Amino acid sequence: MASMLLSRQLTCCLQQNSRLLVFGHRYISQAAAKIDVDFDYDGPLMKTEVPGPRSRELMKKLNGIQNAEAVHFFCNYEESRGNYLVDVDGNRMLDLYSQISSVPIGYSHPSLIKLLQQPQNLSTFINRPALGILPPENFTEKLKESLLSVAPKGLSQVITMSCGSCSNENAFKAIFMWYRNKERGHNNVTKEELESCMINQPPGCPDYAILSFMGGFHGRTLGCLATTHSKAIHKLDIPSLDWPIAPFPRLKYPLEDFVKENQQEEARCLEEVEDLIVKYRKKKKIVAGIIVEPIQSEGGDNHASDDFFRKLRDIARKHGCAFLVDEVQTGGGCTGKFWAHEHWGLDDPADVVTFSKKMMTGGFFHKEEFRPNAPYRIFNTWLGDPSKNLMLAEVIKVIKTEDLLNNATHAGKALLTGLLDLQARYPHLISRVRGRGTFCSFDTPDDATRNKLITIARNKGVVLGGCGDRSIRFRPTLIFKDHHAHLFLNIFSDILANFK
């Protein structure tokens, strides 16, 4: 009787909250549970400059209790939907940055709202378990419905985390454990190892390293920061590790005009990778793994050819290093394939693939040989969040039902074609247009010009993001269509025509 009463109370509460969730979304109703409902706004609507007076007031209050200097403006997420972000001053903007590339199917998608309205899902959202020791009954089933349904080729194991940094940090640990287990011949750990690790000394704490690339970004935790080389402000004042850093190719554009030069540049970088592995081995420091992004995102949207990555994978195998692909920003479909590294056509899959952002949860896939050989070795309290897996399963369903991978390819082509046209008309403002799917970018003459263009665009109703020293990047949602691309291009064309 008590449980029935509690169930009724919870259902009632959920229904009330559901009404609150859909408030302000005039196109979302019970009928809107159909995935193909058009819930987008029809365009930007600007009322003030951004940040407006209400945002500035809130920024001042927040800055009183923490450093809020990175805040762009405050948002009204109840009124935001589809590809449009609404701020607290009522400005409605076409969002081509999508929370630093982390919104998969738009704001307030009807399918996700319906998911939260279902009483059987309530417990998943309010009872967050310590997954490593007390997972819910349906946890394995939900992992199969969500993450394992899109697992990269050859990777059958998955561990969830809460963010991209902790995904990479724990992936490093898994690699180090795998390498040490190989070295000791899969024998038992010695007493000396157990004692020395407690005082941060070898052999318990072996002198291993992860090789990374200049311009890469893999997170801000201590180990990840040793592999992050995009902006000095991320690393300043933080002690770090002596791990090798290889150059990443700096390609010349247009690619078809610089085939030979770009091949030589990639060969130079690959040669340096091998040299560094050998050099560090001579220093008694073993490179246990190599980490790389399919497209260096924070570092400036730096691309390399598919052939470069195939050869890099060969180098990792040749030297016995684990090959870790960081898909935190590129994963989830924005390049036209669910995982950007699928474009490479690897014969031998990556050993480890990390993810977060559009995947709703963090974590990493890995080959079975990288599975920890004891409990608590890869562990924290939450180990992710089952509610995120539930939402991801729905996101994946929408991606498949609405054919959003092909949409990313087509919308990306419209965006890239338009950017190339703008580059031809305004070469003094736009250069090195590049992209895969909707994962597009271009360079500006300098940091000041880049920041000014982003500010003007925002005040015209378009949210853009910067990366690297002087690049502007596009990170729209997967429901970004051709007409959104043309809408942006028309607005941005006017901005460039009047830029002073």
**Alpha helices, DSSP H, located in 23-135:** 53-63, 98-101, 110-117, 122-126
Q: Is 357 labeled as catalytic in the residue annotation?
A: yes
C-alpha closest to that of 227 among 210, 248, 207: 210
Q: From the candidates 114, 142, 337, 357, which is the catalytic residue?
A: 357
Between the CA atoms of 130, 131, 134 and 136, what dihedral angle is there, to the nearest 10 degrees?
120
**Structural contact between residues 110 and 120, judged by C-beta atoms closer than 8 angstroms:** no
Query: How does DSSP assign 349-378, residue by residue?
Result: --SEEEE-GGGSSEEEEE-GGGS-SSTTSS
Q: From the candidates 213, 217, 308, 365, which is the catalytic residue?
A: 217
Separation of alpha carbons 424 and 162, rounded Å:
43
C-alpha closest to that of 164 among 214, 108, 101, 209: 101
Q: From the candidates 381, 417, 447, 494, which is the catalytic residue?
A: 381
Angle of CA points 116, 120, 124, to nearest 5°: 70
Count Cβ atoms within 10 A of the Cβ of residue 244 and give its class: 0-12 exposed, 13-18 middle, 19 or more buried: buried
C-alpha closest to that of 432 among 392, 473, 395, 397: 473
Q: Which residues, at least 6 apart from 260, have a Cβ–Cβ distance to it below 8 Å?
A: none
Q: Is 338 labeled as catalytic in the residue annotation?
A: no
Angle of CA points 101, 107, 110, to nearest 5°: 135
Separation of alpha carbons 299 and 276, rounded Å:
21
Separation of alpha carbons 94 and 458, rounded Å:
9
Separation of alpha carbons 383 and 161, rounded Å:
5
- Coil, strand, or helix at residue 302? strand
Rg (CA), the chain: 24
Separation of alpha carbons 236 and 239, rounded Å:
9
**Structural contact between residues 480 and 413, judged by C-beta atoms closer than 8 angstroms:** no
Instruction: Output the six-digit token pair for 283.
Output: 């220093």
**Structural contact between residues 265 and 250, judged by C-beta atoms closer than 8 angstroms:** yes
Long-range CB contacts (within 8 A, 24+) of 137-142: 139/386, 142/386, 142/389, 142/390, 142/393
- How far the first Cα of the chain sits from its last, in Å, is 72
Separation of alpha carbons 128 and 318, rounded Å:
43
**Structural contact between residues 416 and 433, judged by C-beta atoms closer than 8 angstroms:** yes
Separation of alpha carbons 189 and 120, rounded Å:
46
Would you please indicate which residues are annotated as catalytic (active-site) residues? 217, 326, 357, 381
